[in-house]
């Protein structure tokens, strides 16, 4: 969650088929996104390695995070909260909070790239901007995601 700062529900519903690891892209289909639009997320080197590792250790399932009782179902809704609680972060950090952390750090580091950051967060443009500006900023988002992963790893 930290590396990709997705909406928790989007991550929970993600399937292996949503990844193109050769191209380093997570392709979120409309049915799992809040915006109901496809959203392509560039993956950092670190994220790709973690996803490959998860695939190696996980039991067979269509889901990146399968349910505990059925590998054919996604993880249940409250599991990410329970995981944070078990790590001692109850009432200190929530799954959606990783988006806040990423947004704040990225805006501090790249104050002139707010459009790119908003696109990385999969936020919807408002007003006239939404009508005319269809830019994806994919290359810039790729650089941004790699910077973020490097930053997160530098903290450990």
**Which positions are catalytic?**
7, 34, 96, 99, 123, 132
Q: Cβ(42)–Cβ(33) under 8 Å? A: no
Q: Cβ(144)–Cβ(102) under 8 Å? A: no
Backbone angles phi, psi at 74, to 5 degrees: -75, 165
Integer Cα distance of 156 and 151 in angstroms: 9
Integer Cα distance of 130 and 128 in angstroms: 5
């Amino acid at each position: 969650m930290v590396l990709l700062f997705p909406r928790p529900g989007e991550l929970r519903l993600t399937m292996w088929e949503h990844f193109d690891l050769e191209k380093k892209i997570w392709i979120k289909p409309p049915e799992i996104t809040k915006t109901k639009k496809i959203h392509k997320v560039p993956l950092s080197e670190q994220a790709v390695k973690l996803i490959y590792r998860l695939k190696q250790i996980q039991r067979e399932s269509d889901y990146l995070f399968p349910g505990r009782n059925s590998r054919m179902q996604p993880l249940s809704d409250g599991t990410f909260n329970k995981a944070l609680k078990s790590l001692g972060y109850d009432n200190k950090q929530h799954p959606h909070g990783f988006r806040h952390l990423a947004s704040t750090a990225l805006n501090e580091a790249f104050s002139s790239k707010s459009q790119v950051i908003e696109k990385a967060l999969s936020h919807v443009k408002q007003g006239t901007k939404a009508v005319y500006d269809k830019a994806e900023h994919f290359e810039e988002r790729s650089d941004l995601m790699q910077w973020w992963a490097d930053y997160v790893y530098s903290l450990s």
